[in-house]
Structure 1
Amino acid sequence: MSVDRGSDEPMHRQIYGALRRFILDGQIQQNTLLPSTRSLAEDLKVGRNTVIAAYDQLLAEGFIEARAGSGTWVAPIQQKRPPAALRAGLAAPQKLSRRGQTIVNGPQPPRNAGVINFHPGVPETASFPFTIWSSLLVRNARSRDENLLGYISFAGHPGLRQAIASTISLSRGINCTADQVIIVTGAQAALDLASRVLMDEGDHVWMEEPGYLGAKSAFLASGAQLAPLKVDRLGWHLADPELPPPRLIYVTPSCQWPFGTIMRIEERLQLLDIAERHGAWIVEDDYDGEYRYRGRPVPALRGLDHADRVVYIGSFGKTLIPALRIGYLIVPRELSVPFDRAVSITGQFAPLILQATVNDFITQGYFATHLKRMRRLYARRQANFVKLCQEHLAEWLTVTENDSGMQLLASFVRPYKDSDVVAAAVKEGLDVQGISINYHSSEPEHGLLLGYAAMDERQILRAVLALRAAFMRLDRQ
């Protein structure tokens, strides 16, 4: 054994680690007398206190024991481990649970660093008022408010819960109280929490087909049986006789993912009636319902009368900054206490200092101003994006404007597989997302879901030309 004086690791940790490894691998047998601290220190040319520190750590962990009058001995560890090399050969293959396999084996949207980003649902961050945000954040961090520093308010910062309840009445037509608002770490955490609280393993979930991949993953992870609720550009097939009685129904009625369709009022009323008849819960994912470019945003399904079986999910990831990881649920009054308790044991609560800062950002008027500015910006970018697609991509794609959302559906003019287009785009330094990954059980439609909101005019042109080059690459193959 030796010590490396040039290492960043302290010498007592090197000695501790070497002895620990020798004992575990059986190179030093149990009931072996170890050198005295003075003797080992002289051999290694280190201070005696260095060896004492190493021995003390081994003693605390039970690897060695001090026997009165006879020195320090390796403890009689009952089960001797084979050497590391042999253990590697004997080890059984590590297996995930069935749910774990389902989660990790599912399709994933591309996420490549250092490329042009056409990801859907990504907001503009360059225009975010960081100076204002920083000032609010610093003030909350310096406040030393015990209400922001302890293990309290698991369901969310009281001020933010009240601010959401107040603003969502105006913006989305939802009447609720603050105790019905549950703050979590993003929309995906909200989906996970809802599936855990509202479902048992084997329950049927009506899942939009095509539909949001993140929701599918959350429900499968909770052991759900997915039943495809078919959706096309004309609407939801709610009367499909093949659908089983549901325990939960997942919908994106304000801007269907990925088609961008808005659910008509007759469909909304029919959906509420179905949930009432079956005693089912509806999960309304309003992932970017704040963004409507002509007229006012469409009121949420949760805002209709008699919508007491709807759990509404919203997020600040699209309206502020994705990395905040702050989302929320608005639950029926009867579920407010169960969800409050569930958050406390699942660990899905967002940092209170960040929540307090979002609350200040809302109540001081900055959120409304920022949202209004982003609506105007995204409307201009969408019009410019469609124009550029028509000029440069008409040979391969059909892209039309949409009244809502932060992305547009692009249909192929020719019979491409979108996975081939995605692969060709990566070679041109471009990340795009095919829509086929949003199909779960039926023959998929192929196309692209293109996010334009995060790019300025120069970046959009660059992305469009890169996509054109990807199609030309495919055509040459």
Structure 2
Amino acid sequence: MNIPDDAFYGLLTRALQRRGGQTLQRTLYHALRGAMLDGSLQAHSRLPGSRAIALRLRVSRNTINAALEQLATEGYLLRDRLGSRVAQLPAAADVAPPPAEKIVLPARLQQLPPGPRRDSPALAFTPGTPAVNYFPLPLWRRLLDRVLREEGSALLGYGDSAGEWPLRAAIARHLALSRGIHCDAGQVVITEGALEGLNLCTHLLSEAGDVAWLEDPGYFGARSAFLTAGLRIKTMAIDDEGMAFPGDAPEIPRLIFTSPSHQYPTGKLLSASRRLALLTFASEQGAWIIEDDYDSEFRYSSEPIPAMLGMVKNAPVVYLGTFSKTLFPSLRIGFMVMPQALAVAAQPAIRALLRGGHRTEQRALAWFIEEGHYARHLAAMRRLYRRRQAQLCDALAQELAVPHRIHGGEGGLHLMVEIAGIDDVQVAERARQYQLAPAALSRFYLNPQSGKTGLVLGYGNTSASQFAPAVRALNRIITPPRRGQG
């Protein structure tokens, strides 16, 4: 069956007239393919020869042949010594996409907490965001250039699944000095942020249906990781000594997540007696403690608190750290430190689960640590954040008229401001109209309706000059003026 010339060439002429920036070959390919899919070019129809098409359209015969050959490769055309004919294609179903409200995600994902918004640049009061404008970018650029100059194309292939050895060794030396953790590079695994480390822990150390203890209020990411892994979460309340846990738990946990040096978001410190009791409990019950040490480098009222992993020998602790809080978030480099025996046992699984990558950045970060730049940057940021925290406390005292309690003043990058009886979710949402991004405290609880209310205010990325007007704006949102008042 031959195709009428007028219909065939009219189709291609119209396509060429509106081809825009596409090549001639791609324009002809898309026009013919679309006509075959919508039935304009019927099955078994024979196309004119490539020479005839080229003459009629005044296009190179090579261009015509290239388009036809691509259609034949994909199965739309059948080509033989007699020419090209349209293949028999099944009718394309005209299916309307289901509306978003009809798409049902798996049950384990429906329970996930709503993730925080990621603004770029970050809005004032965004929790967990460091002062990225203080990062020594020219130095970092020189280190990246140096790595590429010295290593070159050798870094373009896959690296070790557990991360670049120089960085793992640099982290091990840094932890021995700063966190009291004595480990070797083989116990360190580089991850894409702390959340990947958490997910890796669930793969290595638990099975679906196991019990996991989680601080309440606590870190969104831990809740998401545990729910996605199919774990059953049991919440542990936070008091003035940190995570309060039962000594005679009815269900033994497999994983225990805690941020002992600066609990997120309350800022509480897990007391020494509770640390030791938790270590003993985990050892006796065969549980694993996941120690999230997300911002312990920033402590203002005392020296940094040593990590749980270094408190006793053979502690059943996997330690998680991240450079997102100390350097800049988009670096996406975190790390985990495993006990020696677990590091050996987990090697085959880590090779299967991780692929390595970001080799240039990892090598540059190793130099950044080894040459002392990291320690100097931490010291400078510690001084900056200490000042900012004090200035934010002053602004809250002067500008926030509602009764409130401030928690977490011993360190970190945020303050938790407890304010009873407010709709903190609505306050946080309305604050975005003022380019402010505090987090609602109630959202950090597994059951927001039964938790405390208030705001979590990040000061790491917010200059002190913004504090007073920003707190005044929050005060207006929380206590709007009554009618007749100014």
TM-score by length of 2: 0.90
Residue in 2 aligned with 1:124? 131
Count of aligned pairs between the two proteins: 469
Q: Could you say if the C-alpha distance between residues 273 and 73 of structure 1 is closer, same or farther in structure 2, counting changes exceeding 3 Å? A: same
SS in 1 for 2:16: coil
Give CA-to-partner distance per residue, 1:391-449, whole Å, 9 cap, x none: 1114354336611111011011x521211211221233321101111111471111111
Verify the 8 A CA contact 2:428 2:437 in the aligned structure 1. Answer: yes
- 2:162 pairs with 1:150: no
Give CA-to-partner distance per residue, 1:14-68, whole Å, 9 cap, x none: 221222233333443333322322333344443322222211222222222212x
Aligned mate of 1:33, from 7, 32, 46: 46
Residue in 2 aligned with 1:58? 71
Give the counterpart letter for 1:161 in structure 2. Answer: R
**1:309-328 alignment runs, 5 A limit:** 309-328=316-335
Aligned mate of 1:260, from 258, 263, 267: 267
- 2:110 pairs with 1:98: no
**1:393-408 alignment runs, 5 A limit:** 393-399=400-406, 402-408=409-415
Aligned equivalents of 1:95 and 1:37: distance in 2?
50
Verify the 8 A CA contact 2:28 2:67 in the aligned structure 1. Answer: yes
SS in 2 for 1:88: coil
Give the counterpart letter for 1:467 in structure 2. Answer: L
**1:223-238 alignment runs, 5 A limit:** 223-238=230-245
SS in 2 for 1:35: coil
Give CA-to-partner distance per residue, 1:168-193, whole Å, 9 cap, x none: 01111111110000001111111111
**Rg (Cα) greater in structure:** 2
Deviates more, 1:427-436 or 1:20-29: 20-29
Aligned equivalents of 1:176 and 1:113: distance in 2?
37
Q: Could you say if the C-alpha distance between residues 264 and 400 of structure 1 is closer, same or farther in structure 2, counting changes exceeding 3 Å? A: closer
Q: Could you say if the C-alpha distance between residues 437 and 376 of structure 1 is closer, same or farther in structure 2, counting changes exceeding 3 Å? A: same
Aligned equivalents of 1:200 and 1:274: distance in 2?
20
Verify the 8 A CA contact 1:29 1:74 in the aligned structure 2. Answer: yes
Residue 334 of structure 1 and its aligned partner are, at CA, apart by 2.2
Aligned equivalents of 1:474 and 1:222: distance in 2?
47
Give the counterpart letter for 1:154 in structure 2. Answer: S
Residue in 2 aligned with 1:244? 251
Residue in 2 aligned with 1:76? 88
RMSD of aligned alpha carbons: 2.5
Verify the 8 A CA contact 1:228 1:243 in the aligned structure 2. Answer: no
Aligned mate of 2:302, from 283, 295, 318: 295
Verify the 8 A CA contact 2:158 2:355 in the aligned structure 1. Answer: no
Residue in 1 aligned with 2:22? 9
Give CA-to-partner distance per residue, 1:131-172, whole Å, 9 cap, x none: 111100111123344552211212111111001111101111
Residue in 2 aligned with 1:439? 445
Q: Could you say if the C-alpha distance between residues 467 and 175 of structure 1 is closer, same or farther in structure 2, counting changes exceeding 3 Å? A: same
Give the counterpart letter for 1:51 in structure 2. Answer: I
- 2:276 pairs with 1:269: yes
Aligned equivalents of 2:77 and 2:374: distance in 1?
61
Residue 241 of structure 1 and its aligned partner are, at CA, apart by 5.4
Residue 207 of structure 1 and its aligned partner are, at CA, apart by 1.1
Residue 123 of structure 1 and its aligned partner are, at CA, apart by 0.5
Give the counterpart letter for 2:474 in structure 1. Answer: L
Give the counterpart letter for 1:423 in structure 2. Answer: E
Aligned equivalents of 1:406 and 1:152: distance in 2?
33
SS in 2 for 1:262: coil
Give the counterpart letter for 1:267 in structure 2. Answer: R
SS in 2 for 1:431: coil
Deviates more, 1:211-220 or 1:2-11: 2-11
Specify every segment of 5 or more residues in structure 2 that has no aligned partner in the other structure, as ranges.
Answer: 1-10
Residue in 2 aligned with 1:422? 428
Give the counterpart letter for 1:435 in structure 2. Answer: L
Sequence identity, in percent?
Answer: 37
Q: Could you say if the C-alpha distance between residues 11 and 339 of structure 1 is closer, same or farther in structure 2, counting changes exceeding 3 Å? A: farther
Give the counterpart letter for 1:87 in structure 2. Answer: V
- 2:95 pairs with 1:87: yes
Verify the 8 A CA contact 2:401 2:475 in the aligned structure 1. Answer: no
Give CA-to-partner distance per residue, 1:180-225, whole Å, 9 cap, x none: 0000111111111111221211111111111101110011111111
Aligned mate of 2:337, from 308, 330, 334: 330
Give the counterpart letter for 1:392 in structure 2. Answer: E
Give the counterpart letter for 1:227 in structure 2. Answer: K
Aligned equivalents of 2:122 and 2:320: distance in 1?
31
Deviates more, 1:58-67 or 1:211-220: 58-67
Aligned equivalents of 1:395 and 1:66: distance in 2?
80
**1:123-202 alignment runs, 5 A limit:** 123-145=130-152, 147-202=154-209
Give CA-to-partner distance per residue, 1:267-302, whole Å, 9 cap, x none: 111111221122111111111011111221000111
Residue 325 of structure 1 and its aligned partner are, at CA, apart by 0.3
Deviates more, 1:373-382 or 1:239-248: 239-248
- 2:468 pairs with 1:455: no
Q: Could you say if the C-alpha distance between residues 454 and 70 of structure 1 is closer, same or farther in structure 2, counting changes exceeding 3 Å? A: same
Aligned equivalents of 1:371 and 1:90: distance in 2?
51
TM-score by length of 1: 0.91
